Structure 1
Amino acid sequence: MSVLDEWTGRRAAGRADLGTPGPDQTDDVVLRAMTDARDVDDFDMRHLRYFLTVVRAGTVSAAAQQLRISQPSLSQQIRRLEQRVGAPLFIRSSRGVELTSGGRAFLREIQGIPGQLRSAIAAAAPAPRIWSVGVCGGVPADVLIEVQNALSGSRPDSGRTGEATLRMRPADAADQGELLRHGEIAFGIVRLPIPMPHVVRAVVRDEPLGVVMAREHPLAARTDFTWSDLDRQRLLWYEDGCAPGFAQTVPAQLARLGWSAVLHPVNQDQDALFVHALQTTGDLVALRPRRAVEREPHLVWRPLPTTRPPRERLAVITVSGGRTARVLREVSARHGWTFLAE
């Protein structure tokens, strides 16, 4: 007897109990799902991943590099997907690809499928959950350790024992919303504020920013200075996409305080480049919490000349309304993190 036959027999005997509104309604849902599944039997999940990657990358060549397959192979797979859908999904040009109206409709309907399937597998699987965590540039190692310890001790399936496994991966904050929606990461670590709808946040660190400079810098010998002193310095800052929201609000706040800083964007992912830029550029300073650089022998930290300096708030984020959001809320309560709903 098949699982469906067994379930149907229980329903007919008046013993169906699947936690749904009623047996007849549940029967309709299952039968409709069977029909839908039969209609898409020849679809392959990897084609959805290929499609989503091309949408995000903007070109087939860039998507092929991310997927680690050849460009001709990826182009062929996309053509097969378009043939199966029965409509062109992309407009191809020398500048890259754009979605057709049909492609936009297809994207709107399928972009939640990978995350839904991942959630379904997680709900049924007894094995420890593996969570991928996107990390924006410049996050201190001790913050990563704190997040690792907090989340790895939590399971999304209450009542089961064991620990979740976390895999940290670099991801610009600007990309993390899309990565979360597509199920490519379960959590992200970003600087607040960040313009991102449908996510919840848990603040792990909230610290005042101060001025960081090389020990050889002319201002390093002084314990205090004025906004006029800083106005002659360039500010080592974040590249586009690394910290949207934070990268805009902090310079605006500094300007209101008296420092209209000239920004010097540098890749924040590599600490060595950060230190090297400060050591080799005489009029360059940076902003960091004191704890982030106090063990770096080549740098010094000084407070800003204000009683209300800008602050750095590092937060863990995840999609609202799902299981990971509930986990993040529970972890925040246990570890004293400030949980922020949408």
Structure 2
Amino acid sequence: MSVLDEWTGRHAPGRADLDRQGPDPTGDAVHRAMSDARDVDDFDMRHLRYFLTVVRAGTVSAAAQELRISQPSLSQQIRRLEQRIGAALFIRSSRGVELTSGGRAFLREIQGIPGQLRSAIAAAAPAPRVWPVGVCGAVPADVLIDVQNVLSASRTDSDAAVDARLRMRSVDTADQGELLRHGEIAFGIVRLPIPMPHVVRAVVRDEPLGVVLAREHPLAARTEPTWSELTRQRLLWYEEGCAPGFAETVPAHLARLGWNAVLHPVNQDQHALFVHALQTTSDLVALRPHRAVEREPHLVWRPLPTLRPPRERLAVIALAGSRTARILQDVSAKRGWTFLAE
């Protein structure tokens, strides 16, 4: 667990506190906010993002890579932040960084600021122009198109069209919960099950898995391979972090059926690498729904020798209690998606 995970359950004062104070622009709350704003005029939201990224990544080098800036530049920006605060935020070591007591206090107080600012912007302009969406590896294009069409045409509670565009990017499932909490993505697309609290799920695809082989594979001529034949094959599978939950439960299901598969991890984001691995490794097979590979000329699909094969359930997720969660629940009811609360 990262240091950030220890603290993300704690929240800064929310909108309800401000709502109780009323909207009076001449009230005490606004005067206090004006005074506070003068004291932090020279702070930059960019520095908060840098700080939070270092906490999450655990090292400055990993954070710099994620932020796509140089490590010396990031180190300099963190030092400037520490100088402005007047206290060290991190203890540096060969293993990475740890928060000082001052750093933990700073994290506790500021972690809600990005989300509060995003909420304020959304409240002033409730129809976002772009929703960032994190997509786990090997999601079929037709699923992405379906999600794009449904969410882009969704409507708010007041029945006004949202008229938002979705900007999809590859994000490992293991990272999506944290990105949802910090508002860096509005939705995620994952394989269930996922070990992720405080998110809601809408199942958009639920299909049985079957064996995928290169057309040249010796088992490709079989209409249904046997368990004894499959036990001599390695299973092309997901790299660590790509599909937690799903990546553990499916091999466990296969083991109960009689196949203790030896896993061969491959980057699932690159379909060409997936096909290439199957074509160039004689004892390698994969698992996919039939629809995912039926148009791939180099591969064949065969059913598993069981009436209860493991299944692939693809789902859209959103942060529980958020506006996007309400939208997801609404479109699920209209679309017939199975909606699962946290």
After TM superposition, the score normalised by the length of structure 1 is: 0.89
Which AA in structure 1 matches 2:314? Answer: L
- Cα distance in 2 between the residues matched to 1:294 and 1:108: 50
Corresponding residue for residue 222 of structure 2:
222
CA deviation string 1:98-123 (max 9, x = no partner)? 22233233223322321221121112
1:118-157 pair list within 5 angstroms: 118-125=118-125, 128-155=128-155
State the distance in 1 between where 2:47 and 2:59 align: 16
The whole-number CA distance in structure 2 between the counterparts of 1:225 and 1:61 is: 47
More divergent stretch after superposition (87-96 vs 322-331): 87-96
Q: Distance in 2 between matches of 1:134 and 1:62?
A: 20
Structure 1 pair 248/126, CA: closer, same or farther in 2 (3 Å)?
closer
Q: 1:287 aligns to what SS in structure 2?
A: strand
2:249 is aligned with what amino acid?
Answer: T
Q: How far apart are 1:135 and its partner, in Å?
A: 0.5
Name the CA shift for 1:336/1:48 in 2 (closer, same or farther; >3 Å).
Answer: same
For residues 55-97 of structure 1, what are the alpha-carbon distances to aligned partners after superposition, in whole Å with 9 as ceiling and x for unaligned?
2232223322332333222212111211233321111122322
2: CA distance, partners of 1:212 / 1:302: 6
* SS at 2:108 equivalent: helix
CA distance in 2, matches of 1:147, 1:66: 27
Contact 2:134 2:170 in 1 (8 A): yes
Alpha-carbon distance in 2 for matches of 1:205, 1:31: 52
Range 120-129 or range 204-213, more displaced: 120-129
Deviation at 1:145, TM superposition (A): 0.3
Worse-matched range after superposition: 38-47 or 226-235: 38-47
Q: 1:127 to 1:320 in 2, by over 3 A?
A: closer
Quick one: which amino acid aligns to residue 142 of structure 1?
A: D
Q: Hey, what does 1:261 align to over in structure 2?
A: 261
Write the letter of the residue equivalent to 2:247: A
Identical residues among aligned pairs (%): 84
Whole-angstrom CA distance in 2 between matches of 1:318 and 1:238 = 23
Show the counterpart of 1:111: 111
Q: 1:150 is aligned with what amino acid? A: V
1:159-184: CA deviation from partner (whole Å, max 9, x where unpaired): 54461011001100001111111111
1:95 counterpart = 2:95:
yes
**Offset of residue 127 of structure 1:** 6.0
Alignment correspondent of 2:294? 294
1:13 aligns to what?
none
* Cα distance, 1:23–1:106 mapped onto 2, change above 3 Å: closer
Deviation at 1:53, TM superposition (A): 1.7
Paired residues of 2:130 and 2:165 also in contact (CA < 8 A): yes
Question: What amino acid does structure 2 have at the position aligned with 1:111?
Answer: Q
TM alignment of 1:1-342, pairs within 5 A:
20-21=19-20, 27-125=27-125, 128-155=128-155, 158=158, 160-161=160-161, 163-342=163-342
CA distance in 1, matches of 2:126, 2:316: 25
Q: What is the alpha-carbon distance in structure 2 between the residues aligned to residue 210 and residue 263 of structure 1?
A: 16
Distance 1:24 1:136, change over 3 A: closer
* Superposed CA RMSD: 2.2
Pick which of 182-191 and 52-61 moved more.
Answer: 52-61
State the distance in 1 between where 2:121 and 2:159 align: 17
1:191 Cα deviation from its structure 2 partner: 0.4
Partner of 1:8: none
Q: Which range moved further: 62-71 or 139-148?
A: 62-71
TM-score (norm 2): 0.89
Structure 2 unaligned regions, length at least 5:
1-17
Say if 1:126 and 1:176 are closer, same or farther in 2 by CA, change over 3 A: closer
- Counterpart of 1:220 in 2: which secondary structure? helix
CA distance in 1, matches of 2:285, 2:69: 42
Give 1:32 deviation, angstroms: 4.2
Distance 1:126 1:145 in 2: 24
CA contact (8 A) 1:112 1:181 kept: no
Q: Secondary structure at the match of 2:330?
A: helix
Match of 1:315, as an amino acid? Answer: A
Report if the CA contact (8 A) 2:127-2:164 is conserved.
no
- Quote the residue 1:15 is aligned against: none
Contact 1:155 1:327 in 2 (8 A): yes
The answer as to whether partners of 1:235 and 1:285 remain within 8 angstroms in 2 is yes
Identify the residue that residue 5 of structure 1 maps to in structure 2.
Answer: none
Q: Which moved more, 1:119-128 or 1:216-225?
A: 119-128
Displacement after TM superposition at 1:25 (Å): 10
Shift in CA distance, 75/275, structure 1 to aligned 2, threshold 3 Å: same
Q: Work out whether residues 202 and 332 of structure 1, in 8 Å CA contact, stay in contact via their aligned partners in 2.
A: yes
Tell me the CA shift for residue 218 of structure 1. Answer: 1.0
- 1:200-241 CA-to-partner distances (Å, cap 9, x unmatched) read 111110111111111111111011222111111100000000
Change (3 A) 1:183 1:325: same
Cα separation, 2, equivalents of 1:291 and 1:161: 32
Instruction: Give the distance between the partners of 1:221 and 1:42, measured in 2 at CA.
Output: 69
Any unmatched runs of 5+ in structure 1? 1-18
Of stretches 38-47 and 204-213 in structure 1, the one that deviates more from structure 2 is: 38-47
Distance in 2, Cα, partners of 1:306 & 1:289: 15
Which residue identity lines up with residue 337 of structure 2 in the other structure? Answer: W
| Largest Rg, 1 or 2 | 1
Superposition deviation, residue 198 in structure 1: 0.7
DSSP-derived class of the 2:296 partner: coil
